[in-house]
Amino acid sequence: MTLTAAAASATDVLAPDAGAPARLRFEHVRKEFTVRGDRRRAPSTLVAVDDLSLDVAAGELVTVVGPSGCGKSTLLDLVAGLSTPTSGRILVDGREVTGPGLDRGIVFQQYALLPWRSAQRNVELGLEARGLPAPERRRVAREKLELVGLAGFEDRYPHELSGGMKQRVAIARALAFDPEVLLMDEPFAALDAQTREQLQDELLRIWRATGKTIVFITHGIEEAVYLGQRVVVLSGRPGRVRTVIDVDLPRGDELAGTDLRTDPRFVAHRHTVWEALHAPAGTPERTGGAA
Ligand SMILES: Nc1ncnc2c1ncn2[C@@H]1O[C@H](COP(=O)(O)OP(=O)(O)O)[C@@H](O)[C@H]1O
Ligand SMILES: [Mg+2]
């Protein structure tokens, strides 16, 4: 599929669904940073994300792929409410994001676990802030640790866990307060290839089990195609939506015992994303749906 064809089909996908508001909506989001000057340079403005519009439906797993420095983490911080757009807005279920909230759970690339707390107590963290009584906290934390495949590891401390296990704890913690949206910023990037593939399958299982809306950021083309129902390809900085690619691949039981990554359809999607990422600057860019 050519880039133009992909962009054309993306338009249909992004057309706002009559009556069904997007779970997550980006409306012409722009984020600027002021870069401090020094003796030689005056202060300047860096545009990290520009005119980015996108709709994500409830229960969708969308991957966002783009070159390093194109504004992916900036975008995630904006959805998380850790920073605010310079212009444009982000809506969750029609409500504008103005700060962090329990409707959004975040998993960062670095495990961000508290080293002095056990796996169980790390997962309980968000629940404490919410004022849940101790027995209820313990029950929820155990349930989420079981969901991510860590039953039996509740009392381990982060230094006693492998990288993959730490990231499972981080996912359990993000799911603990049952957020509508799960935001993931290159969560598997620091893991070895085999562990990464294992966690990708775990994430797909968790997604199917929970029905969460997931926005998964990555710089890996294969990872984007493997996980995403749609792959949003960002341009180089400032990050804009260059194209959105629909991924239709066998999933779940259909897949049993096969290596999806060698399936000709997988290979074709990977190539489409590669082409979109490598399209020369100046290729007409498009912005998605929420006009
Ligand atoms: N707080 C900040 N102040 C100034 N520049 C920033 C800040 N945060 C990010 N940037 C810049 O914005 C651009 C996008 O960064 P980032 O979102 O981290 O990219 P990515 O996650 O895609 O690698 C980079 O050029 C980065 O240096
Ligand atoms: Mg980043």
pLDDT digits (tens, 9 = 90+) for 65-84: 999 899 999 999 999 999 99
With the C-alpha atoms ordered 73, 78, 79, 80, is the resulting torsion angle positive or negative?
A: positive
* Cβ count within 10 A of residue 89: 16
Among protein residues, the one with the nearest Cα to ligand 1's atom 11 is: 48
Q: Tokens standing for 52? A: 């980015």
Print the domain residue range for 163.
114-178
Quick one: which atom of ligand 1 is closest to the CA of 70?
A: 22
Pocket of ligand 1 (CB under 6 A): 33, 35, 46, 48, 66, 68-74, 237
Task: Tell the residue number behind the tokens 């950021």, with chain if given.
Answer: 217
- Same domain for 99 and 123, yes or no, is no
- Same domain for 152 and 229, yes or no, is no
Among protein residues, the one with the nearest Cα to ligand 1's atom 25 is: 69
- Same domain for 214 and 122, yes or no, is no
Q: So what's the pLDDT on residue 12?
A: 42
Distance from Cα 139 to the centre of ligand 2, integer Å: 34
- How far apart, in whole angstroms, are the C-alpha atoms of residue 214 and residue 60? 6
Structural domain total, the chain: 2
- Same domain for 68 and 85, yes or no, is yes
Among protein residues, the one with the nearest Cα to ligand 1's atom 8 is: 74
- Same domain for 85 and 192, yes or no, is yes
Among protein residues, the one with the nearest Cα to ligand 1's atom 4 is: 33
- Same domain for 225 and 272, yes or no, is yes
Q: Look at residue 59 and tell me if it is in a domain.
A: yes
Last residue of a domain, one of 131, 150, 178: 178
Q: Tokens standing for 271? A: 């190539």
Q: Look at residue 287 and tell me if it is in a domain.
A: no
- Same domain for 84 and 68, yes or no, is yes
**Inter-residue contact 104 to 176 (CB < 8 Å):** no
Quick one: which atom of ligand 1 is closest to the CA of 66?
A: 22
Its pTM stands at 0.87
* Cβ count within 10 A of residue 287: 18
Banded model confidence at residue 2, pLDDT cuts 50, 70, 90: very low
Q: Look at residue 2 and tell me if it is in a domain.
A: no
- Same domain for 84 and 193, yes or no, is yes
Last residue of a domain, one of 153, 178, 203: 178
Closest ligand to residue 48's CA:
1
Q: So what's the pLDDT on residue 130?
A: 79
Q: Look at residue 187 and tell me if it is in a domain.
A: yes
Q: Look at residue 291 and tell me if it is in a domain.
A: no
pLDDT of 140-156, one tens digit each?
A: 999 999 999 999 999 99
Distance from Cα 68 to the centre of ligand 2, integer Å: 7
Q: Tokens standing for 107? A: 């998993």
In this prediction, what percent of the chain has a pLDDT beyond 70?
87
Q: So what's the pLDDT on residue 109?
A: 83
- Same domain for 225 and 257, yes or no, is yes
- The amino acid at residue 271 is H
- Same domain for 269 and 205, yes or no, is yes
